[in-house]
């Protein structure tokens, strides 16, 4: 074969194979991306995902971000599905890295290696509050704690799920004050809010933004966050009230299956960070009281590692008591 024919063959091969290979990388995403939420619609994890979906298409090659709710197993069914999905960037987990993992690992068996997930972006933080029904006799945290001390086990309390940041705050309040309350098992933010609003429990810890939708049915007594929530400027923090609890908060971010290529992680991070600057996302996030973060993979991972350590210390205290 002549040198000319060899060269021609190479050119033809590059024309047929090369562009296709480049397109596979350059055109990502080329189909819808599925965001898996391990809870029912209406809670903090779900609302974070839908806030992103409201504006993400513009930055994802005009591909839609499809929200899929897979509740069950204390919020772990959804992430478990993602853990075994193809590592191509088209199936993601909203809520990965939250306390269900960093605190839950000390309370229950997590049926997959959550630490092997690849962080994409930490979107928002959510503040946690202690709330009671609007017609509750308790007007302050002090009143509730005093009653609980005098009547051990009489008050019923709940939270958003075993291992959640709200669960952690409730357990730490009980531990640090020495009170006893009867825990009502529950999963999901919207369900927790409804239990309080309907008077089915005496108090609960849940994400504070959920109280905004039922202001005439719940009363927020205290905010478990280092600073006051702008949506509740008249509600004191637990620190201000003299209660030294963990002040755990929700860390809502996106994780990808183990093995997802770094270049696709970067594309996704770039797209979602731009989405968080979109006016539609900002409007929704502000109305819901989200604390915007926008942390990249490295900072997100550092935050998860820090939270895991802090939750581990709380778990030791709870075990000791």
Residues 99 and 138 in one domain: no
Q: How much of the chain, in percent, has pLDDT values that exceed 70?
A: 92
Distance separating alpha carbons of residues 222 and 208, to the nearest angstrom: 10
Rg (CA), the chain: 23
pLDDT in tens, 70-90: 998 878 899 999 999 999 999
Q: Is 106 left (phi over 0), alpha (psi -120 to 50) or beta?
A: alpha
For tokens 């296709």, the residue is 20
- Give the pair of three-digit tokens for residue 250: 């929700």
Determine the Cα angle at 161 with ends 115 and 51, to 5°. Answer: 75
User: What is the chain's mean pLDDT, rounded?
Assistant: 89
Confidence of residue 17 (pLDDT cuts 50, 70, 90): very low
In this prediction, residue 109 carries a pLDDT of: 86
Domain boundary (241, 259, 283) is at: 241
For tokens 């704690």, the residue is 145
For tokens 């562009």, the residue is 19
Three-state DSSP class for residue 145 = helix
Domain boundary (241, 269, 294) is at: 241
Residues 167 and 258 in one domain: no
- pTM here is 0.80
Dihedral, 232, 273, 55, 307 alpha carbons, nearest 10: -50
Domain boundary (224, 241, 258) is at: 241
In this prediction, residue 11 carries a pLDDT of: 34
Q: Average pLDDT, stretch 42-68?
A: 93
pLDDT at 24 over 80: no
Residues 94 and 74 in one domain: yes
Q: Average pLDDT, stretch 261-282?
A: 96
Which domain CATH number covers 196? 3.40.190.10
Confidence of residue 5 (pLDDT cuts 50, 70, 90): very low
Residues 218 and 149 in one domain: yes
- Give the pair of three-digit tokens for residue 41: 């619609």
Report how many domains make up the chain: 2
Question: Which position has the higher pLDDT, 10 or 242?
Answer: 242
Q: Could you tell me if 161 and 185 are in contact, meaning their C-beta atoms sit under 8 angstroms apart?
A: no
pLDDT in tens, 110-148: 888 888 999 999 999 889 999 999 999 999 999 999 999
Distance separating alpha carbons of residues 66 and 133, to the nearest angstrom: 35
Distance separating alpha carbons of residues 226 and 160, to the nearest angstrom: 20
């Amino acid at each position: 074969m002549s040198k000319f024919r060899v060269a021609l063959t190479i050119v033809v091969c590059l024309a047929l194979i090369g562009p296709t290979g480049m397109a596979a990388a350059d055109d990502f995403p080329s189909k819808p991306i599925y965001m898996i939420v391990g809870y029912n619609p209406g809670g903090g994890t779900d609302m974070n995902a839908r806030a992103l979906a409201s504006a993400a298409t513009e930055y994802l090659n005009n591909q839609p971000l499809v929200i899929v709710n897979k509740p069950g197993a204390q919020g772990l069914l959804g992430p478990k599905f993602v853990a075994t999905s193809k590592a191509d960037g088209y199936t993601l987990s909203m809520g990965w890295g939250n306390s269900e993992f960093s605190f839950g690992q000390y309370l229950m068996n997590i049926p997959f290696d959550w630490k092997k997930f690849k962080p994409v972006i930490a979107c928002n933080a959510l503040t946690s509050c202690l709330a009671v029904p609007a017609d509750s006799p308790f007007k302050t945290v002090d009143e509730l704690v005093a009653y609980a001390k005098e009547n051990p086990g009489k008050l019923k309390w709940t939270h958003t799920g075993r291992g959640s940041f709200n669960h952690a705050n409730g357990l730490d309040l009980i531990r640090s004050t020495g009170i006893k309350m009867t825990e009502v098992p529950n999963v999901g933010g919207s369900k927790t809010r409804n239990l309080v609003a309907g008077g089915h429990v005496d108090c609960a810890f849940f994400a504070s933004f959920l109280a905004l939708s039922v202001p005439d049915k719940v009363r927020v007594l205290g905010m478990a966050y280092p600073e006051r929530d702008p949506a509740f400027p008249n509600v004191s923090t637990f620190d201000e009230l003299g209660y030294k609890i963990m002040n755990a908060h929700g860390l809502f971010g996106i994780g990808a299956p183990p093995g997802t290529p770094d270049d696709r992680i970067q594309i996704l991070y770039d797209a979602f960070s731009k989405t968080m600057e979109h006016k539609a996302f900002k409007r929704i996030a502000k109305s819901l009281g989200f604390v915007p973060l926008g942390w990249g993979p490295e900072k997100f991972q550092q935050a998860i590692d820090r939270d895991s350590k802090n939750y581990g210390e709380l778990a030791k205290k709870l075990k000791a008591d």
